[in-house]
Amino acid sequence: MAEAEKKKKKIPKKTHEMPEQDPLERIKNFGEVALGYDFETAKAEAERCLQCERKEGKELCIDGCPVEIDIPKFIKCISEERLDDAVEILKDKNDLPAICGRVCPQEQQCQKYCTLGKGKGRDPVAIGRLERFVADYDMEKGYSAPEYITSLSKKVAIVGSGPAGLTAAGDLAKLGYDVTIYEALHGSGGVLRYGIPEFRLPKAILDKEVGYIKKLGVKLETDVVIGKTILVDELLEEFDAVFIGTGAGAPMFMRIPGENLNGIYSANEFLTRINLMKAYKFPEYDTPIKVGEKVAIIGGGNVTMDSARCALRLGAKESTVVYRRSEEEMPARREEVEHAKEEGVVFKLLTNPVRYLGEDGNVKQMECIEMKLGEPDASGRRRPIPIEGSEFLMDVDTVVVAIGNTPNPLVPSTTEGLETTKRGTIVVNEDGKASIDGVYAGGDITTGAATVISAMGAGKRAARAIDEYLKAK
């Protein structure tokens, strides 16, 4: 007995690996790269959890989760083989766990605070992988969710069906409100639909997660461009409150010579064609995409990695990430940088394009300049400085500009009295309340481009605030 207990307490230092598609195989398809834990592995990984108790002043995994999932509790359920209970605990806080388990940067959130991971040579518990395992189990079962029925007469409009809007909608529906989401595109999910590729987040999974939100009683109206088709003022006549979650979807360009040559895409255009329009299945699908042999992707974030990996899958011979700082400053998830490297993406660091050269209107070459790192700037990262006289030419036939996005101005520019910052973000208080009574906002439209999970956290807080506002009204 004592022997057995001892054995049980011996915790593996390393996390259980998740099976993945072989790099050489997976660059030929858009199928999911990470294949997920099976039950045995999930249970073994769950058993690594120390089940820390919450104490004043001590930060635990839960504190790193923007939607406040009771992490130790759902993990305990896995190790005790009570998967339905695990589902219930997850879904109490998070309506989109199959998505979060896949795309959250856990290393900067929940897993960063894991006590086990703080030990020397020890990995934190793979919380994201376990979340994904439980969510996928629930999905395969066809969802264990109870059907909610709208019990309150009050109506809430949600503008945008990205992670912020979906989360706010789900939470409000569970509280009994009559919720309608308005989406400008024909497909729901925002960046989850048009931005993140199939190989990281299969759209069939997104469809199921959105289906779950609808099951909670939420109505979804696509093809409605708020600010054009309907104004926010008009929504306020029909609804008791409005939540704006329109994201940061306006692409930035560098405004350097030659940027309008053919073959140069914004990452948003490149990824929208591929993900939303399924151009990787052209001509079965009607939307075309053109990728040459030498593709350069400008930037260092997740969008850069997604674009670089898509280019390879579309047949590019060389897919090169061109980034003006060094690898250390790259904002992309570690895991995605590793995946990109395994697949053969080349990294040209401390390099910045200065102009594009074309022929017959098509991009042929890119003039770059080498950079060195100076003192840290406002973002805390070391500022890149061009090295004079270091210009060189790079042959390219396709360029994807992935240097970031700014808030979509459609709603702010058409809503009188809606206060915005110089950067175009909507001004809100900590509850997400905007400058107009009854109007709330959250996600990238209030913060600028950030993460899926922080948008979900904002949706959650706004839903709570809307509930309080409507109860007091």
Partner 1 sequence: MYEIVEKENLADNVKLFGIDAPLVAKKAKPGNFVVLRVDEHGERIPVTITDFDAKKGTVTIVVQEVGKTTKKLGLLTEGDALLNFAGPLGHPSEIKNYGHVVCIGGGVGIALIYPEVRAFKEAGNTVTSIIGARTEDLLIFEEKISKYSDKFYITTDDGSKGRKGFVSDVLKELMDGEEKIDLVMVVGPVIMMKIIAELTKPYGIKTVASLNPIMVDGTGMCGGCRVIVGGEAKFACVDGPEFDAHLVDFDNLMARNRRFLDEERMALEG
Provide, rounded to whole angstroms, the least separation between the CB of residue 223 and partner 1. Answer: 4
Q: DSSP alpha helices (H): ranges in 256-328? A: 267-271, 302-313
Q: What gap in Å lies between CA 328 and CA 331, rounded to an integer?
A: 8
Could you say whether residue 253 binds partner 1 (CB under 8 A)?
yes
Among residues 288, 315, 376, 417, the one that binds partner 1 under rule CB under 8 A: 288
Strand intervals (E) in 252-381: 264-266, 294-298, 318-322, 346-348, 351-359, 362-376
CB of 355 vs partner 1, minimal distance in Å = 14
54, 58, 141, 186: which one binds partner 1 (CB under 8 A): 186
Q: Which of 322, 413, 411, 335 is nearest to 371 (CA)?
A: 322
CB of 262 to partner 1, least distance (A): 5
Strand partners, 250: 406
Q: How far apart are CA 87 and CA 132, in angstroms?
A: 11
Would you say 223 or 437 has its CB closer to partner 1? 223
Closer to partner 1 at the Cβ: 190 or 300? 190
Q: Which amino acid appears at position 461 of this protein?
A: R
Mark residues 194-223: x for contact with partner 1 by CB under 8 A, - for none.
Answer: ----------------------------xx
Residue from 29, 108, 229, 390 in contact with partner 1 (CB under 8 A):
229
Nearer to partner 1, 260 or 421 (CB): 260
Q: Does 353 bind partner 1 (CB under 8 A)?
A: no
- Cα distance between residue 315 and residue 271, in whole Å: 15
Q: Which is nearer to partner 1, 151 or 229 (CB)?
A: 229
Sign of the Cα torsion 100, 105, 109, 114 reads: positive
DSSP assignment, residue 208? H
Residue with tokens 């973002």: 379
- Choosing from 21, 115, 150, 287, the residue that interacts with partner 1 (CB under 8 A) is 287
Minimum distance, C-beta of residue 327 to partner 1, in the bound complex (Å):
28
Contacts of 9-15 with C-beta under 8 Å, sequence gap 24+, read 11/47, 11/48, 11/50, 11/116, 11/122, 12/44, 12/48, 13/119, 13/121, 13/122, 13/123, 14/122, 14/123, 15/45, 15/48, 15/123, 15/124, 15/125, 15/126, 15/129
Give yes or no for residue 39 binding partner 1 (CB under 8 A).
Answer: no
Please report whether residue 424 would count as binding partner 1 according to CB under 8 A: no
Q: Which is nearer to partner 1, 183 or 370 (CB)?
A: 183
Say whether residue 230 binds partner 1 (CB under 8 A).
Answer: yes
H/E stretch holding 465 reads helix 452-472
Nearer to partner 1, 177 or 182 (CB): 182
Judged by the rule CB under 8 A, the positions of this chain that interact with partner 1 are: 184-186, 222-225, 228-230, 249-251, 253, 255, 259-260, 262, 265-266, 268-269, 272-273, 277-278, 282-290, 360-361, 408-410
